[in-house]
């Protein structure tokens, strides 16, 4: 199961592909029109440039400044891209669609990661004899199952989250657009709407995360999995709250330790307080060393967040499996517990031995 620690690298690569595709598409749309060049006087104080008309277009390949002998600073300058045509008139709508597709792809990649990790951790928990019953290469098998059977469910969950995120983006756009024209009542309503949709996004992320776990374990569709996961968590709400807070606290301290340690080392290194033997790792004298330190700290946080998210997913998956195990099984020979022996010892549970005649 140590291979799960390297799965964030796959997620990072897939997210990089999504960002690259979005950027290339946005750039292509922004430059889809024909370039417009106009004759412009770069320095009107030199000569008489009144001969240049305001909207006089030109071709940079054939332009010759000698055509304007009285204005030696005349040049053929790029102004913008042509806004005429069906594509150019709908450019804003196409950019919105591009953003929507980008968010959907990003959420799908994250959902795929959740489902893959949940399947790997679930295969560990539901192995009755550990580690003999754990399948070979559980992470790869879980990844292939997710791609073969659960793409539709993952895409549907990502779509729901994307719709809420698009509403939040539209609200932010409207708030920025009409900020000066708003009265106190309108600002209050806008603030309430943004707060409500922020809470809704957090709730949907919570539902989706647990739904993906149930999808990976039982293979049912998104709606059924979300309903079962939510019902299971509500029946064990006290355990959910305690485990969630304890996990968040431990993961926060873990990230803080990693980022703080890297930040301290980066400070001593870039400030020249660490003297290393030889000249291979000698740092150059920097006038402002806070910028590389901030960059290193930010990179350390992103890496730590990616790897600690694996532990977080493992805790959530094993917790849901544990709740299912308690509700479905009672320790009898017909319904034995699948939890580990250490966990059974903590909960004072045990599997009853089958009766022998």
SS3 readout for the chain: CHHHHHHHHHHHHHHHHHHHHHHHHHHHHHCCCCEEEEEEECCCCCCCCCCCCCCCECCCCCCCHHHCCCCCCEEEEEEEECCCCHHHHCHHHHHHHHHHHHHHHHHHHHHHHHHHHHHHHHHHHCCCCCCCCCCCCHHHHHHHHHHHHCHHHHHHHHHHHHHHHHHHHHHHHHHHHCCCCCCHHHHHHHHHHHHHHHHHHHHHHHHHHHHHHHHHHHCCCHHHHHHHHHHHHHHCHHHHHHHHHHHHHHHHHHHHHHHHHHHHHHHHHHCCCCCCCCCCCCCCCCCCCHHHHHHHHHHHHHHHHHHHHHHHHHHHHHHHHHHHHHHHCCCCCCCCCCCCHHHHHHCCCCCCCCCCC
Query: Do 150 and 58 share a structural domain?
Result: no
- 274 shares its domain with 342: yes
Q: Number of structural domains, the chain?
A: 3
Same domain, 292 and 325: yes
pLDDT tops 60 at residue 279? no
- pLDDT (0 to 100) of residue 283: 58
Q: Is 357 contained in some domain?
A: no
Instruction: Write down the pLDDT at residue 135.
Output: 82
pLDDT tier at 202 (50, 70, 90 boundaries)? Answer: very high
The pLDDT of residue 86: 65
Residue-wise pLDDT tens digits, 22-75: 999 998 887 777 788 888 877 766 667 777 777 777 888 788 777 777 777 788
Q: Please tell me the predicted confidence (pLDDT) of residue 3.
A: 81
Structure confidence at residue 110 as a pLDDT band (50, 70, 90): very high
Assess whether 152 and 249 both reside in one domain.
no
44 and 16 belong to one structural domain:
no
Domain that holds residue 44: 35-81
Q: With respect to residue 353, please indicate whether it lies within any of the assigned structural domains.
A: no
Same domain, 69 and 144: no
Whether the per-residue pLDDT at 267 is higher than 90: the answer is no
Determine, yes or no, domain membership for 299.
yes
pLDDT in tens, 65-89: 777 777 777 888 887 777 666 666 7
Write down the pLDDT at residue 258.
92
Residues 200 and 337 in one domain: no
Average pLDDT for the chain: 85
Q: Is the pLDDT of residue 288 over 80?
A: no
Segment 247-268 mean pLDDT = 90
């Amino acid at each position: 199961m140590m291979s799960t620690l390297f799965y964030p690298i796959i997620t990072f690569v897939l997210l990089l592909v999504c960002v690259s595709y979005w950027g290339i598409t946005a750039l292509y749309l922004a430059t889809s029109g024909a370039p417009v060049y106009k004759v412009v006087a770069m320095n009107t104080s030199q000569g008489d440039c009144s001969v240049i008309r305001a909207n006089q277009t030109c071709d940079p390949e054939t332009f010759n400044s000698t055509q304007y002998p009285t204005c030696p600073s005349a040049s053929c300058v790029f102004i913008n891209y042509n806004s005429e045509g069906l594509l150019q008139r709908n450019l804003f709508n196409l950019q919105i669609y591009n953003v929507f597709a980008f968010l959907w792809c990003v959420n799908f990649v994250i959902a795929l990661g959740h489902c893959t990790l949940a399947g790997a951790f679930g295969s560990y928990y539901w192995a009755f004899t550990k580690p003999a019953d754990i399948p070979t290469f559980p992470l790869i098998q879980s990844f292939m199952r997710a791609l073969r059977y659960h793409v539709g469910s993952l895409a549907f969950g990502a779509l729901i989250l994307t719709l809420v995120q698009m509403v939040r983006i539209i609200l932010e756009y409207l708030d920025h657009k009409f900020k000066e024209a708003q009265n106190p009542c309108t600002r209050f309503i806008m603030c309430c709407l943004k707060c409500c949709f922020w809470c809704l996004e957090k709730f949907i992320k919570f539902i989706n995360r647990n739904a993906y776990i149930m999808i990976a374990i039982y293979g049912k569709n998104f709606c059924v999995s979300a309903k079962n996961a939510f019902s299971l968590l509500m029946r064990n709400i006290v355990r959910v709250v305690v485990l969630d807070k304890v996990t968040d606290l431990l993961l926060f301290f873990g990230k803080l330790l990693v980022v703080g340690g890297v930040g301290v080392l980066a400070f001593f290194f870039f400030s020249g307080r660490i003297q290393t033997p030889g000249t291979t790792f000698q740092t150059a004298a920097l006038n402002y060393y806070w910028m590389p330190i901030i960059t290193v700290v930010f990179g350390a946080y992103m890496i730590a967040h990616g790897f600690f998210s694996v532990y977080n997913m493992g805790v959530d998956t094993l917790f849901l499996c544990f709740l299912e195990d308690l509700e479905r099984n009672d320790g009898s020979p017909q319904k034995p517990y699948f939890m580990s022996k250490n966990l059974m010892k903590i909960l004072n549970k045990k599997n009853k031995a089958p009766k022998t005649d």
